[in-house]
Amino acid sequence: MARFATIISLLFIAIGWSANVAAAADRDRMDEPFEISADRIIYDADRDLYVAEGHVQVDQVGRRLKARWVAFSTKTNIGVAEGEVDLEDGDDRLRAEFMVFDVDTLHGMLFQGSTDAGEIGLKVRAKELIRTGKNTFTVRDGVFTTCYCEPGERLPWEIHAQKADVELGSYATVTNSTFNVLGVPVLWAPWAFFPIKSDRETGLLIPEIEFGGRSGANFGLPFFWAALPQLNVTLTPRYFSKRGYKQDVEFEYVFGERSEGDLFVSGVLDDSSHDGGGSTPRRRWAILWDHDQELPAKFRWQTDLNLSSDNLYPADFAELREFRAFRFLESTSNVARTFGATGGVGVMFGARFADELQGASPDDLDHVLLQRWAEARADIAPGTLRGPLGIEGRVDSEYIYFGSYRHSEGELGNLGGTGLAPLVETDGRFADVGIDGRVGGNLVGEDDDLFEPGEPIIERGSRVVVHPRLSKLFRLGGFAEFVPEVGWQQTLYRTNAQDFAERGLLTARGDLRSRLSRDYFGEGNRRAVRHVIEPRLGWAFVSSQGQKDNPLFIPRGSVDQSRLRAFSLENVTRNPSDRIDNANQLVLALGQRFYVRDRQGTAAKLRADLLTGIDWNFTGREGLGNFYLESRLFPGRLIRSHVRGVFDLRESTFKEAEVGAGLRIPGVSRFVRMARLGTNYRYRRDLPRFAERVRGRPDVTETGDTRLSQMDWNATVELTERLRLRYRATYSFVDGGDFIRSYGALDYVSKCRCWGVSVNAFQERDQNYGGGIQFRILGVGKQVGSLFNNGYGLGQSF
């Protein structure tokens, strides 16, 4: 009887509280019925009161309430729950020792309660937690955190508030609050608010700190502005100890269903006018623009713009650091569209721009560098244009206008050094100043009448290429196929030195191929191996024609690509160069694939894919050519490797080779949870000579290595699910051996998964040593898939 009296008292108290809640504008009464189950249910008809005891569960659409004891009145629709109260509402979860709730909405007041805000990752613990709406709460004496620690453990960080109003997916407004680290208050605020959402929100982000590097230590304070639903703006003022003030602005935007972009602009007034002997301008800037837009009539406009004020910018600032080993900083923009059900017809209109990055800005060749100011393409792919007798038509067509900032012939006396650059007109028109591109340079190639990479091309004008081809598929008795192709590549020129020039080449190609397979079964037919072989005989022909009087807009490739051309002979007949050697090449190739089924009823898996070939070239006296190998090996689920190479049969030596392997080892030992190891060796006998200038030292110019022999290593070792080691390095065996680059890092995530730290160090040839530290407050505690895949960061690697 005393228990019922207590129940009645609580319900009358709850009626007064419920009236306030019910009057709220956001009250959301649910018309759906609910079900209740328990060990025992008692109904008091005089009081219209239900009492449930033992393993009580109240179910409503999308909601569930559990407790040891529940009582509610059908007159007032108010209930009370006691003992391990657990309320699930969608992704949200609330727990308490005692709860007063609205039967229709399951909104209510929790005493000694807590909530887990689902995918938002926020946990709230409070003496009083009043749920005033689906996503709104009033908190008294509460604690906010994203740390998921074991019961009884000290939280790494938390916000303690005397009173708070919380709206999940929006904000929390707190009064008389402190920010605690390991239980110690480090910051007090009489009033504050912070976002409680996984969506974007305007406000300051965690500061970024970087130590060392060519620009010295720097500090940045990003401000994120959610300007529009489809526009994000991030403003980051920075200060560098060696460079001074720098401002970064980034715009991220989307429009329509299939259009988006990212524009980054940065500017700095450089306090350091000289760095390592190389001058830099005081006003330095960079622009990066990645744009993809759907246009009317199913056209697409795509732009990849990369611009900087000077050649040392990529070495000094992080936004262009990925380009610091590049010879050119390239930008492209084009509008394109495909036609037909399969997209077999395509058109493109665009332009390309390149910025030379060698040496200091006043000494580079940007003013004479050949640019593609305009280009257009129209292609018809195989299988699109079919004629009578099964004949297929294929077409490549291209127009390019080549130009430069200035009339390059008038700039021959401004190519550095002294004197006038020698002009060669017997093989195109270029300045024969050597591979360093400067008059009086100390490197090879000057005044030898041979074009070499690095020498400025003088001629300017237009080039049109049209290459129609006809082919037909012949099936030979169901066991082989033969596809012959014949075409004509016509090139037309109009330049500042020649009113008209042309080149016409006959091209032809044939491909005879077959496919055979056989299955091998083990004992009981449980294990099986399928061996597939694909023999192929290919032939490519390009006629001979004198081309030395034609413009030299696109020179021959400087790196040998014989392996790629042998295994795909259309690379021989569709060569885009303005100097195409005649060819009469035969390639005999054999492809093999091995599929293994471990047991009956399971799918077969590819274990090896091998492609070998040998070629003959009947032009001149070349004859027998090279032996080619391309392979991928998958001997087990945890290991994979590849081998590829070219062996010169005439000289009995390797022209190129590459061998690589990757291994994943789960549960290495009780001290190592998982390890990933990888290595790759690359060799190339002949490399073209390029001028390599040491950044910031225009007086030092090198030719670089003429042979490639280097090894790459990489390793990732997870000691625990929260502690990881990473390492990668590249070592060159040329000229006594030296590390080109090496990088190592230690990553750690706290036990409660609400913060993490990464410490790294690196070394690069000609770039000395460096390192960094990165700290992150992780905002989605339980959903940390990798060590650093979310949250805000403090610090930055460099």
Residues 320, 703 contacting (CB under 8 angstroms): no
What is the structure's pLDDT at 200?
59
Any domain includes 742:
yes
Any domain includes 62:
yes
- pLDDT class of 791 with cuts at 50, 70, 90: very low
User: Is 479 in the same domain as 588?
Assistant: yes
Most confident of the ranges 39-53, 315-329, 427-441, 650-664: 650-664
pLDDT 10s digits, 246-296: 999 999 999 988 999 999 999 999 987 554 445 678 899 999 999 999 999
HSE, side-chain direction, 13 A CA sphere, residue 209? 11
544-556 mean pLDDT: 90
User: Is 598 in the same domain as 687?
Assistant: no
What is the structure's pLDDT at 120?
52
374-380 mean pLDDT: 97
Residues 82, 68 contacting (CB under 8 angstroms): yes
Q: Which residue has the higher pLDDT, 92 or 372?
A: 372
What is the structure's pLDDT at 789?
45
What is the structure's pLDDT at 161?
85
User: Is 652 in the same domain as 760?
Assistant: yes
Any domain includes 647:
yes
What is the structure's pLDDT at 17?
41
User: Is 530 in the same domain as 625?
Assistant: yes
User: Is 623 in the same domain as 646?
Assistant: no
Closest CA to 94 of 66, 62, 59: 66
What is the structure's pLDDT at 710?
95
What is the structure's pLDDT at 5?
40
Q: How many domains does the chain have?
A: 3
The structure tokens listed for 224 are 């994120």
Any domain includes 705:
yes
> Rounded CA gap, 403 and 407, in Å?
8
Any domain includes 84:
yes
Beta pairing class for 63-73 and 49-60: antiparallel
Boundary of a domain, candidates 606, 636, 666: 636
Domain that holds residue 673: 640-798
User: Is 576 in the same domain as 649?
Assistant: no
User: Is 798 in the same domain as 656?
Assistant: yes
Any domain includes 251:
no
pLDDT 10s digits, 738-782: 888 899 999 888 877 777 788 888 887 766 676 777 666 665 333
User: Is 508 in the same domain as 571?
Assistant: yes
Residues 186, 158 contacting (CB under 8 angstroms): no
80-85 mean pLDDT: 84
Give the lowest-confidence range in 194-208, 233-247, 483-497, 575-589: 194-208
Boundary of a domain, candidates 577, 602, 636: 636
- pLDDT class of 431 with cuts at 50, 70, 90: confident
Any domain includes 531:
yes
Any domain includes 792:
yes
Q: How many residues does the chain have?
A: 798
| Mean of all residue pLDDT scores within the chain | 82
Give the lowest-confidence range in 250-264, 460-474, 528-542, 761-775: 761-775
DSSP-assigned letter for residue 446: B
Give the lowest-confidence range in 196-200, 430-434, 609-613: 196-200
List of residues 6+ apart from 642 with CB closer than 8 A: 631, 632, 633, 658, 659, 660, 661
Q: Is 785 exposed, middle or buried (0-12, 13-18, 19+ CB in 10 A)?
A: exposed
Give the lowest-confidence range in 487-491, 593-597, 745-749, 771-775: 771-775
- pLDDT class of 450 with cuts at 50, 70, 90: confident
pLDDT above 70 for 701: no
Give the lowest-confidence range in 74-88, 100-114, 132-146, 609-623: 100-114
414-429 mean pLDDT: 77
User: Is 738 in the same domain as 663?
Assistant: yes
What is the structure's pLDDT at 128?
79
Boundary of a domain, candidates 85, 116, 147: 116
Category of 203 on φ-ψ map: left (φ > 0), alpha (ψ -120 to 50) or beta: left
pLDDT 10s digits, 330-356: 999 999 999 988 899 999 999 999 998
Most confident of the ranges 221-230, 357-366, 387-396: 387-396
What is the structure's pLDDT at 376?
98
| pTM exceeding 0.75 | no
pLDDT 10s digits, 635-660: 888 999 999 999 999 899 999 999 99
What is the structure's pLDDT at 12?
37
User: Is 644 in the same domain as 554?
Assistant: no
What is the structure's pLDDT at 511?
97
Cα dist from 418 to 256, 381, 441, whole Å: 57, 51, 10
User: Is 632 in the same domain as 688?
Assistant: no
User: Is 573 in the same domain as 604?
Assistant: yes
CB contact burial 558-579 (16+ within 10 A = b; e otherwise): eebebbebbbebbebbbbbebb
Percent of the chain with pLDDT over 90: 37
Q: Which amino acid does the sequence have at 222?
A: P
